[in-house]
Amino acid sequence: MKPDPKDREAAAATILGALKEAAAPLSGEALAAQLGRSRAAIWKQINRLKALGYAIEGSPRRGYRLLGVPDKLLPPEITQGLKTRYFQGPIHHFETLPSTNDLAKELGSQGAPEGTLVVAESQTRGRGRLGREWESPPGVGLYASLLLRPELPPTELPQITLTTAVAVVRAVGRATGLALGIKWPNDLLVEGKKVGGILTEMETESDQIRYLVVGLGLNVNNREFPPPLNLTATSLALAAGATFHRPEILRAWLEEFEDLYELFLNRNFGRILEEWRQYNVTLGKKVTVRQGAREISGFALEVAGDGALLLRQRDGEVIRVTSGEIAPGPGMGPGGESL
Ligand code: BTN
């Protein structure tokens, strides 16, 4: 029988955990006893870890010692210590992909389960909202797409997107100590510049969501950005003056998102929205929303229960805006926030 890929991932992650914690080399026998597996199974997993790029010294008799961990978003690195209940993969990792969202959608239409995760070290055609390109240089960012199968109508999509953004703020705060802001609907900012974004895409069938892909792009360890992007974009590393372990941030996002997604499915979006409001940098300001060639200006009053932005016009009329992006306006910085 072919081993379940999830079991294989779990075994590799447990061995890795044991090797990371061990002060002295661990023998194949000790590992086998600790994990309740045969020595041959341990040896196979060690070889798999080596093939993934982990530097492991030793032999079954002398013992194994972990000398180095590759700076990659490898599945065992993500699952090791992951405390999610449902978002448990399978995880598909690639050196490069055109777009993680595209592959996740393909897997979604082939029937892949909820919790399937696609990650890449770089993207050649990373996509942002409104048809934009998402700069995806190798080895420094988080490019991840999570497949969900909520039994909901498509009108609930904006709420899921806002929920995702709240999860990112929580996760980044936990893993890096940085406090991100959210620009409506879901741009992630630090020091007034964009550090991440979310692209949610779905496939529907008879007015129900068939599957949903939540794509997260986060600039983590980037040290520079090509002009003119450098005027509006930054990274967690530039903001904090430190380098971060990308799998740890991804793990924190999966954990936070799972909690919030459960809250959302249990009809508690109001609580999530309350938290979104605390992180937002849009409300209470005069803003201009761009929708293609159309621009709507007004005072950002509130975000409605369905995720729409409520704008008060000069004549006092309040209008609902459901799509678009906040443009830099009078008194605004490059990211659209007040100077
Ligand atoms: C935005 O415009 O702010 C959203 C950016 C989303 C980028 C991510 S990177 C991972 C996933 N794959 C893509 O092609 N896009 C999303």
pLDDT at 335 > cutoff 60: no
What mean pLDDT do residues 145-159 have? 92
| Confidence band for 339, pLDDT divided at 50, 70 and 90 | very low
Query: Can you give the pLDDT at residue 143?
Result: 98
CB 331 within 8 A of CB 297: no
Query: Can you give the pLDDT at residue 4?
Result: 65
For residue 337, count CB atoms less than 10 angstroms from its CB and return exposed for 0-12, middle for 13-18, buried for 19 or more.
Answer: buried
What mean pLDDT do residues 138-161 have? 93
State residue 80 phi and psi, 5-degree precision: -65, 110
Ligand 1 pocket, Cβ-based, cut-off 6 angstroms = 99-101, 123, 126-129, 132, 134, 143-145, 187, 197-199, 215-217
SS3 188: strand
State residue 120 phi and psi, 5-degree precision: -140, 150
Closest residue by CA, ligand 1 atom 9:
217
What mean pLDDT do residues 298-322 have? 92
Rounded to the nearest integer, the mean pLDDT of the chain is 90
- The domains of the chain, with CATH numbers, are 5-68 (1.10.10.10), 75-279 (3.30.930.10), 286-327 (2.30.30.100)
pLDDT at 88 > cutoff 90: no
User: Which ligand 1 atom minimizes the distance to the CA of 102?
Assistant: 14
E strands, the chain, in order: 55-59, 63-68, 91-97, 117-123, 141-148, 181-183, 187-190, 193-205, 208-219, 286-291, 294-303, 309-312, 318-321, 325-327
Ligand 1 centroid from CA 183, angstroms: 16
For a pocket test of ligand 1, which of 134, 135, 168, 187 has the largest count of ligand atoms closer than 8 A to its C-beta? 134
Query: Can you give the pLDDT at residue 157?
Result: 87
Ligand 1 centroid from CA 197, angstroms: 6
Beta carbons within 10 angstroms of residue 53's beta carbon: 12
pLDDT at 105 > cutoff 60: yes
Ligand 1 centroid from CA 97, angstroms: 13
CB 300 within 8 A of CB 319: no
Sign of the alpha-carbon dihedral angle for 296, 218, 114, 251 = negative
Question: Could you give the C-alpha distances from 265 to 18, 224, 332, in angstroms and in order?
Answer: 36, 39, 36
Closest residue by CA, ligand 1 atom 7:
217
pLDDT at 12 > cutoff 80: yes
Highest mean pLDDT, choosing among 77-81, 154-158, 247-251: 247-251
For a pocket test of ligand 1, which of 97, 101, 187 has the largest count of ligand atoms closer than 8 A to its C-beta? 101
Closest residue by CA, ligand 1 atom 11:
215
For a pocket test of ligand 1, which of 117, 121, 143 has the largest count of ligand atoms closer than 8 A to its C-beta? 143
Query: Can you give the pLDDT at residue 5?
Result: 64
Share of the chain above pLDDT 70, in %: 94
Tens of pLDDT along 32-59? 988 888 889 899 999 999 998 999 998 7
Query: Can you give the pLDDT at residue 139?
Result: 93
CA–CA dist 310, 298 (Å, integer)? 9
| Confidence band for 307, pLDDT divided at 50, 70 and 90 | confident
| Confidence band for 338, pLDDT divided at 50, 70 and 90 | very low
Tens of pLDDT along 165-214? 999 999 999 999 999 999 998 899 999 999 999 999 999 988 999 999 99
Closest residue by CA, ligand 1 atom 16:
215
Closest residue by CA, ligand 1 atom 3:
197
Query: Can you give the pLDDT at residue 35?
Result: 82
What mean pLDDT do residues 217-242 have? 96
